[in-house]
């Protein structure tokens, strides 16, 4: 049977965008048989992002074999699409000439993104490949703090004097070489190079030549300080529907521009980081090595072990009650589990709302009250269910009543803790996504066990 063509692989893909699962083995086979023609047939139609995905899905050994056979598939776009870990390995493996050629055509922001995770010798080798102007621009961006607007911006900007007309702007754009490949605005600057507004290309093309640019500027104009955190930049783009925004230094002079594609990448990374941290998983990728992944996850597993020990200490205080009424050992995980799940629900909503700045000091108590009432209503509903379970399963109305009350108490506490803990951590300057999960789980476990076993000891013994 003939091998499937790339078109057939694409047609059979689940949603038309992800790589078909048969493409990777086909590429591996082409590499193993040193069939360059077949490899070119498979790779030629792929977008740079798809090639990057392909390289990430292949193990280190086959990936090196592929690159040794066809190093020309890695250009600047592919490098910029790769995740950090495989990109570092690929740059280290490829000849310097291939890497240098790949980065020469990239905008400065993409070069900075590639460089910031590399070793100093690797950085220097790539910087040496740039011309003097590009190298100076990249080095100036690298001088800004990590995860700041200065690192995110591209130095290539399209700017003009505030007194220009549409005709002068069009003549400038047509007659200037080396304009950025993608840009959306012409930034207007005063004589001190301070941005005072911007005009979209659509308005420039749609207006008469004699119209002044300052008369058709956008109302959405905002400037971004170079030292501003990139998370705040992404929030501003999302909140105010920005397409691009000029970046200014401490003297308010124009030093670069941030475009929506880079801002949305940051926003996506912020969302991903929050999700991972809620699960106690540090940042990483599927291509990371076992040892590196183990080292990153170990600290939070150790924290979870300590919190589990605290909950066990509460259980130990009621050993006699558990030994007397074995049903307590059967039912107590249900109370803790329901409280933990309810707390996680409230916690997730609170952390996300803090990240999007929807949860503020003006509405925090209303949100806390709502979560507590939700916990109360859900607690009452499930309390009735568990009361019936206690009666039917164990034939004890008193046991059913105990677990019902404990369920209500723990669900209310879960709503309270799931909201208040991330808010308090945020006020203390601690990332709520990073630390809230362990605290909320500890609170719901301790309260759940104490409420259930304490009531059982008081009522049933």
- Burial level of 111, CB count in 10 A (0-12/13-18/19+)? buried
Q: How high is the mean pLDDT of the chain?
A: 86
Q: CA 43, CA 41: separation in Å to the nearest integer?
A: 6
Cα separation, 273 vs 143, in Å, equals 25
Task: Please provide residue 187's backbone torsions phi and psi, each rounded to the nearest 5 degrees.
Answer: -85, 130
Residue 286: predicted pLDDT: 58
Q: What angle do the packed helices 290-316 and 432-460 form, to 10 degrees?
A: 30
Distance of alpha carbon 272 from alpha carbon 278, whole angstroms: 10
The answer to whether 351 touches 432, Cβ cutoff 8 Å, is yes
Q: CA-CA distance, 367 to 350, in Å (whole number)? A: 9
* Parallel/antiparallel/unpaired status of strands 244-248 and 185-189: unpaired
Give the per-residue pLDDT at 230.
92
Q: For residues 116 and 139, is the Cβ–Cβ distance under 8 A?
A: no
- Round to whole Å and give the CA distance between 245 and 369: 39
Q: Are 245 and 237 in contact (CB under 8 A)?
A: yes
pLDDT at residue 1, as a whole number = 44
Q: Which residues contact 121 (CB under 8 A, 6 or more apart)?
A: none
| CATH class of the structural domain 290-460 | mainly alpha
d(CA 67, CA 92): 12
- The CATH code belonging to domain 6-143 is 1.25.60.10
Handedness of CA 450, 453, 459, 461 (dihedral sign): negative
Taking the whole predicted model, whether its pTM rises above 0.75 is answered as: no
What is the pLDDT at residue 278? 65
In DSSP terms, which residues pair with 161 in a beta bridge?
Answer: 189
Tokens 């955190």 belong to residue: 229
Tell me if residue 404 falls in helix, strand or coil. Answer: helix
pLDDT of residue 327: 85
Residue 439 half-sphere exposure, CB side, CA atoms within 13 Å?
A: 18
Coarse DSSP helix, strand, coil percentages of the chain, rounded to the nearest 5 percent: 65, 5, 25
Torsion of the alpha carbons at 153, 154, 156 and 159, rounded to the nearest 10? -20
Cα–Cα distance, 178 to 261 (Å, whole number): 20
For the chain, the distance separating the N- and C-terminal CA atoms, rounded to the nearest angstrom, is 75
Task: Give residue limits of the domains in the chain.
Answer: 6-143, 159-259, 290-460
- pLDDT tens for 140-195 read 888 899 889 999 999 889 999 999 999 999 999 999 988 888 899 999 999 999 99
Rounded to whole angstroms, how far apart are CA atoms 29 and 35? Answer: 8
CA atoms within 13 A on the CB side of 451: 25
Mean pLDDT by 10 residues, the chain (461 residues): 51 60 87 90 89 87 89 88 85 86 83 84 84 87 91 92 95 89 92 95 94 94 94 91 94 94 86 68 63 74 80 84 84 88 89 84 90 93 89 86 91 93 88 79 89 88 73
Predicted pLDDT of residue 371: 92
Q: What angle, rounded to 10 degrees, do the helices at 23-32 and 48-57 form?
A: 70
CATH topology of domain 159-259: CBS-domain (3.10.580)
* Rounded CA separation 270/396 (Å): 50
Tens digit of pLDDT for each residue in 261-289? Answer: 889 888 887 777 767 666 666 665 555 67
Of how many residues is the chain composed? 461
Question: Residue 2 phi/psi, 5° resolution?
Answer: -70, 150
Residue 385 corresponds to which tokens in the numbers above?
A: 């269910």
> What is the DSSP code string of 269-306?
HHHHHHHHHHTT--S--TTS-HHHHHHHHHHHHHHHHH
């Amino acid at each position: 049977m003939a091998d499937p063509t790339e078109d057939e692989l694409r047609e059979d893909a689940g949603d038309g965008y992800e790589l078909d699962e048969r493409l990777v083995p086909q590429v591996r086979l082409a590499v193993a048989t040193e069939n360059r023609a077949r490899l070119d047939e498979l790779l030629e139609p792929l977008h740079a992002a798809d090639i990057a995905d392909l390289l990430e899905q292949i193990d280190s050994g086959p990936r090196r074999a592929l690159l040794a056979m066809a190093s020309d598939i890695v250009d600047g776009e592919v490098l910029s699409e790769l995740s950090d870990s495989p990109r570092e390995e690929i740059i280290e493996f490829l000849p310097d000439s291939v890497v240098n050629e790949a980065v020469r055509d990239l905008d400065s922001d993409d070069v900075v993104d590639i460089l910031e995770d590399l070793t100093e010798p690797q950085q220097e080798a790539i910087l040496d490949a740039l011309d003097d102007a590009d190298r100076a621009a990249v080095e100036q961006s690298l001088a800004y703090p990590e995860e700041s607007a200065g690192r995110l911006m591209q130095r290539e900007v399209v700017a003009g004097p505030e007194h220009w007309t549409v005709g002068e702007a069009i003549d400038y754009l047509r007659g200037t070489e080396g304009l950025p490949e993608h840009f959306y605005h012409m930034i207007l600057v005063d004589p001190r190079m301070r941005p005072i507004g911007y005009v979209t290309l659509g308005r420039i093309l749609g207006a008469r030549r004699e119209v002044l640019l300052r008369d058709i500027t956008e109302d959405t104009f905002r400037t971004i300080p170079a030292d501003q955190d990139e998370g705040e930049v992404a929030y501003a783009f999302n909140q105010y529907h920005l397409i691009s925004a000029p970046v200014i230094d401490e003297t308010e002079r124009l030093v670069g521009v941030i475009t929506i594609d880079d801002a949305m990448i940051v926003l996506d990374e912020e969302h991903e980081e929050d999700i991972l941290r809620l699960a106690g998983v540090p940042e990483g990728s599927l291509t990371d090595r076992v040892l590196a992944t183990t080292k990153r996850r170990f600290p939070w597993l150790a924290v979870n072990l300590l919190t589990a020990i605290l909950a066990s200490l509460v259980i130990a205080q009621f050993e006699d009650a558990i030994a007397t009424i074995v049903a307590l050992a059967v039912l107590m995980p249900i109370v803790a589990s329901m409280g933990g799940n309810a707390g996680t629900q409230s916690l997730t909503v609170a952390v996300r709302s803090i990240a999007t700045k929807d949860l503020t000091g003006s509405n925090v108590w209303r949100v806390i009250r709502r979560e507590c009432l939700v916990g109360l209503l859900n607690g009452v509903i499930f309390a009735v269910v568990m009361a019936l379970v206690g009666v039917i399963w164990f034939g004890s109305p008193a046991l059913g009543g105990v677990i019902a009350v404990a369920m209500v108490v723990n669900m209310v506490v879960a709503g309270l803790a799931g909201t208040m803990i991330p808010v308090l951590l945020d006020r203390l300057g601690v990332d709520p996504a990073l630390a809230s999960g362990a605290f909320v789980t500890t609170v719901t476990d301790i309260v759940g066990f104490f409420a259930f076993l304490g009531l059982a000891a008081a009522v049933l013994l």
